[in-house]
Chains A and B, each alone.
Chain A
């Protein structure tokens, strides 16, 4: 008999249907991967199992866990189940822990509540489980507060809370999405080991097929609140019987078709951008009242150059200094030492007025398709904003024409210019963002994680657009990303950044296939790869 059995589950919130006829089952000790794009209802399925839905939610169907009818169980019975027989790990480790309670209190609390243990025994158990998740007592005593831990460490605490009482089922809702790839690998390995040791069932929710392919015995693919396909992982993902499964798998492995723009000999010889020994300090935290704080070196002596129409990736773990470097290149921040030259002119030493004619050559695309636009302006005004940099300001008619042309280039309609940004989907907004970046015909576009907030199928389309514009306009790119598949798909060269320094650089394929530095090796080893995961699974199964 299955540990968890969901039959015909329907969910409405305030009259809006969220889930339709979900069927899902997990056997004891089995890992079930639940995959889908945003809005597919994955998280809501998890919250239904926990009965932690919002008050306005109405459910029907059957959810049976270990013989208990979850949807009909009284709240007191649910309180006995939660944290004891079912544990849950959430996406955002930075906010998942109570900031005013120590990690010891937060782990021991559930143990005391469920097992009726006294304080000393509960703390003893808390110590053991924290030690097990990789937070040994010597370095992480129970008296630590969450703000004293990093994101990865906090996620370990959350896992310790969920697994403290050896639950029969663990639900992990995008447990690694907020972490970088190296941390992701560590956390996934920890989860797998815990599941094996404690014979837990695991419901692993993810948008990333590669992660699920690597972890799950069986997989359920959801879309728009419905189950599309369900089955054994390797078989389902390699056979791709359902068209949506096929679409997802293809998008996950998509590599854009790139037509190289042939740079003129002149362009090729002279660097477009050169970064020379750039250092950026931030004031450090004061450790005592009288000593001067030690500055934090976010960027620590970086040099490189980019030629016209070259596409370069800057990869590294979170906090390695890549975004700080990008801000300095965009002249939004100044280096503490060193120089940044654009077309030979030292932009890092210029005043805002002197900078103005140079700014049109370098534009930016940000990560968040929602935060990139002033919500109160129409698309025309948003896309036209950099036209401010032209020496001769275009008239209204000319301006509309230029905006229309830019929108056309990114695959949108000229009539879209009279809409507000909230009328567009995430992928379309990222296209608007690109239109804004190319309207002044810049020589270089800095893109800071431009596709990491997008669903896989949309990500593939946006990557295609970047590739196409590189070929058509000859614009150079600096892609800042932690995602090696993006780097592999769209760039010629790659630089690996680690603790403020560039530790390795070269042709993208060479570096990613044969990394030399420790930092690059760790990144490559940790990057989830659907191909590799499937091959490994198929090989295991013979």
Chain B
């Protein structure tokens, strides 16, 4: 019985939204993410120039009114390439997060609900995956099965699984001893039903926050893979590939490296801000979980 007890209050969705839009990190992150997503969507119907069209005469032009970000060594418009590249980055990262969540969350919830050897085995498997330097294994996977966006997704997605499994398990484990879960058990509900009704809705917010973090990491990883030539293949533009092409030409045309890099930084920054904001808004106290 303390004065002014602190309790985790759960406002409804409407007041959560109001809180969210009052949060600076969330707002900046939301705007940046929305802009990047919009840019990717617009690229399907319109880009300033056709990115498959090579105009050698226009190669490596500097910044101008016709080409605000200049052109590359094939004379393609950098802005258009960045717009199209956004599609690829977002698609790979989103699907990789979906793979990680889709497999990791059920596994983590199962481990928490079942306990015992199931839990132990799953967590040992997690340790194994964590012990593999993730990017190295992604390089291995794409190298084995061939480069390309799909294999990049698999490679990044596999390493998202243990992350989500861990987060879901930790959240679920902290909820199982709660009195409302005990009450549900006293009401004769089985573990699956309790997981669906009581556990998942209450860990949804930490999963959402983790999702934005993994999304951002996925964008970085995809850029790394395509920089190494293992991601999306030409002529499909990708941010990492553009940086690879820029590397040898940096002395003459530094803008080739500046803009794709900025695109990555801004996108990842936006997602991280969104995640920070969401965490502050949804469950400030969940950060205290040990």
Is B198 among interface residues, defined by CB-CB distance under 8 A? yes
Contact with B along A343-380 (1 / 0, CB 8 A): 00000000010011001101110111011111110000
A379 CB, min distance to chain B CBs, angstroms: 13
A147 CB, min distance to chain B CBs, angstroms: 14
A82 CB, min distance to chain B CBs, angstroms: 20
Contact of A356 among B2, B4, B11, B188 (CB under 8 A): B188
Cβ contact within 8 Å between B186 and A364: yes
- Scoring A362, A371, A388, A420 by chain B CB atoms within 10 A of each residue's CB, the highest score goes to A371
Is A319 among interface residues, defined by CB-CB distance under 8 A? no
Is B202 among interface residues, defined by CB-CB distance under 8 A? yes
- Scoring B1, B2, B197 by chain A CB atoms within 10 A of each residue's CB, the highest score goes to B1
Is B180 among interface residues, defined by CB-CB distance under 8 A? yes
Alpha-carbon distance between A41 and B201 when the two chains are bound, in angstroms = 35
Alpha-carbon distance between A171 and B65 when the two chains are bound, in angstroms = 73
Alpha-carbon distance between A394 and B275 when the two chains are bound, in angstroms = 42
Cβ contact within 8 Å between A38 and B186: no
Task: Summarize A's interface: helix, strand, loop or mixed.
Answer: loop
User: Which residues does chain A contribute within 8 Å of B186, judged by CB atoms?
Assistant: 330-332, 359, 362-364, 386
Cβ contact within 8 Å between B179 and A371: yes
Contact of A422 among B10, B180, B183, B202 (CB under 8 A): B10
Contact with B along A409-424 (1 / 0, CB 8 A): 0000000000010100
The answer to whether residues A453 and B1 also contact, given A364-B183, A374-B198, A375-B202 and a CB cut-off of 8 A, is: yes
User: Which residues does chain A contribute within 8 Å of B12, judged by CB atoms?
Assistant: 420
CB under 8 Å from chain B, chain A span 289-325: none
Is A177 among interface residues, defined by CB-CB distance under 8 A? yes
Cβ contact within 8 Å between B3 and A40: yes
The answer to whether residues A366 and B179 also contact, given A359-B187, A374-B197 and a CB cut-off of 8 A, is: yes
Alpha-carbon distance between A382 and B184 when the two chains are bound, in angstroms = 9
Cβ contact within 8 Å between B190 and A385: no
Alpha-carbon distance between A181 and B118 when the two chains are bound, in angstroms = 42
User: Which residues does chain B contribute within 8 Å of A360, judged by CB atoms?
Assistant: 188
Alpha-carbon distance between A37 and B10 when the two chains are bound, in angstroms = 24
CB under 8 Å from chain A, chain B span 148-192: 178-180, 182-190
The answer to whether residues A376 and B1 also contact, given A332-B185, A356-B188 and a CB cut-off of 8 A, is: no
Contact of A376 among B7, B10, B187, B188 (CB under 8 A): B10
Cβ contact within 8 Å between B183 and A38: no
Contact with B along A119-144 (1 / 0, CB 8 A): 00000000000000000000000000
Instruction: Tally chain A residues at the interface, Cβ within 8 Å.
Output: 44
User: Which residues does chain B contribute within 8 Å of A174, judged by CB atoms?
Assistant: 1-2
Contact with B along A50-91 (1 / 0, CB 8 A): 000000000000000000000000000000000000000001
Alpha-carbon distance between A43 and B4 when the two chains are bound, in angstroms = 9
Cβ contact within 8 Å between A41 and B187: no
Is A455 among interface residues, defined by CB-CB distance under 8 A? yes
Alpha-carbon distance between A177 and B1 when the two chains are bound, in angstroms = 7
CB under 8 Å from chain A, chain B span 1-55: 1-5, 7-12
Contact with B along A5-32 (1 / 0, CB 8 A): 0000000000000000000000000000
Instruction: Tally chain B residues at the interface, Cβ within 8 Å.
Output: 27
User: Which residues does chain A contribute within 8 Å of B202, judged by CB atoms?
Assistant: 374-376
CB under 8 Å from chain B, chain A span 443-458: 453, 455
Is A97 among interface residues, defined by CB-CB distance under 8 A? no
Cβ contact within 8 Å between B3 and A43: yes
Cβ contact within 8 Å between B201 and A376: yes
Task: Summarize B's interface: helix, strand, loop or mixed.
Answer: loop
Closest B residue, CB atoms, query A387: B187
Cβ contact within 8 Å between B3 and A39: yes
Alpha-carbon distance between A44 and B182 when the two chains are bound, in angstroms = 35
Is A168 among interface residues, defined by CB-CB distance under 8 A? no
Is A389 among interface residues, defined by CB-CB distance under 8 A? yes
Is A436 among interface residues, defined by CB-CB distance under 8 A? yes
Closest A residue, CB atoms, query B12: A420
- Scoring A41, A174, A374, A389 by chain B CB atoms within 10 A of each residue's CB, the highest score goes to A374
Contact of A91 among B2, B9, B179 (CB under 8 A): B2
Alpha-carbon distance between A367 and B183 when the two chains are bound, in angstroms = 12
A458 CB, min distance to chain B CBs, angstroms: 11
B159 CB, min distance to chain A CBs, angstroms: 31
User: Which residues does chain B contribute within 8 Å of A334, judged by CB atoms?
Assistant: none
Is A185 among interface residues, defined by CB-CB distance under 8 A? no
Is A42 among interface residues, defined by CB-CB distance under 8 A? yes
Alpha-carbon distance between A370 and B285 when the two chains are bound, in angstroms = 15
A421 CB, min distance to chain B CBs, angstroms: 8
Is A207 among interface residues, defined by CB-CB distance under 8 A? yes
Closest A residue, CB atoms, query B11: A422
The answer to whether residues A420 and B10 also contact, given A364-B183, A373-B180 and a CB cut-off of 8 A, is: yes
Closest B residue, CB atoms, query A36: B3
Alpha-carbon distance between A385 and B4 when the two chains are bound, in angstroms = 30
User: Which residues does chain B contribute within 8 Å of A388, judged by CB atoms?
Assistant: 187-189
Contact with B along A482-522 (1 / 0, CB 8 A): 00000000000000000000000000000000000000000
User: Which residues does chain B contribute within 8 Å of A422, judged by CB atoms?
Assistant: 7, 9-11
Q: 8 new A-B pairs (CB below 8 Å) besides A376-B202, A453-B1?
A: A38-B3, A332-B182, A363-B186, A364-B186, A375-B9, A375-B202, A422-B7, A455-B1
Binding site for A on B (CB under 8 A): 1-5, 7-12, 178-180, 182-190, 197-198, 201-202
Contact sample, A vs B, 26 pairs, CB 8 Å cutoff: A38-B1, A38-B3, A38-B4, A43-B3, A44-B3, A44-B4, A174-B1, A177-B1, A331-B186, A332-B185, A332-B186, A352-B188, A356-B188, A359-B186, A364-B182, A370-B5, A370-B7, A371-B179, A372-B183, A374-B198, A374-B202, A388-B189, A420-B10, A436-B183, A453-B1, A455-B1
